[in-house]
Amino acid sequence: MSSQSNLKVHVEFGDAKADFEGNPDEVSKAFLTFLNKIYPAFELAQRLTFNPDLAKLTEGLVGILEFAPEGAFLVFTELPAEEAIILSLIGVYIGNRLGRITNDAVSANGLSKMTGKALKTMSNQLAWMVDDGLVERVGRGEYRITSIGIKRSERILQELRTRGKQ
C-alpha cells in the first residue's frame, strides 16, 4: 500500500449520469451528494444508517489499545471484562479495516491474551455478550463485534474520556 490509486466511478440513474475520480473518501462523498440530489429519499435512509466513524474510533483508542506485529493488545487493562472485550474487538475491527490485522474475528483465547483477563472470564462474558447482541460468534469459536457493539464502544470511549482515563 505504498501508493494509492485513484478510484473511478461512473454512475447512471435514469437520465442522470456522473463520473467521479479521486481517493475513495472523496469519491464516496461526491457519489452520496449526487445520489442525494437525484434521489431525495436516499438522504432520509442515510440518516437512519449506522456508519462507524473509523477515524473517531481510532482516535478514541489511543492510549488504550496498540497494534504490535503479533496483533492488537490493550495497554489500559484496568477495565471490566465487558469493556475490555468490546474495546479489544473494536481494535480488531479497526485493525482489519486498516489492513493491520487479516481477520476481523478473534478467539476467546486471543481475547484473553489481548486483555490480560482469564480465559474462563472471557468465555463466560462472551456468552452473555452474544445474547445481548454486542458480539457475534463466527467460525470455530471466534467472535466479532456487531454494530450494536460498535455503538457501545463509542459510549465506553466517551465515558473513559469523561473519567479522565485517557
pLDDT for 116: 92
- Measure Cα distances from 137 to 107, 114, 140 in Å: 9, 18, 8
What is the tens place of the pLDDT at every residue in 68-114?
888 888 888 789 999 999 999 999 999 998 888 888 999 999 999 99
Could you tell me which residue, 79 or 49, shows the higher pLDDT?
Answer: 79
| Displacement of CA 26 from its chain's centroid (Å) | 20
Looking up cell 451528494 gives 33
Model-wide pTM > 0.95: no
Specify whether the CB–CB gap between 24 and 5 falls below 8 A.
no
Using the predicted structure, report yes or no on whether residue 2 has a pLDDT greater than 70. Answer: no
Is a pLDDT exceeding 70 seen at residue 43?
A: no
pLDDT digits (tens, 9 = 90+) for 116-141: 999 999 999 999 999 999 999 998 88
Confidence of residue 17 (pLDDT cuts 50, 70, 90): confident
What domains can be seen in the chain, in order of their start residue?
7-47 (no CATH), 54-163 (1.10.10.10)
The pLDDT confidence band at residue 42, using thresholds 50, 70 and 90, is low
Q: Calculate mean pLDDT across residues 32-44.
A: 74
pLDDT of residue 105: 95
d(CA 157, CA 166): 9
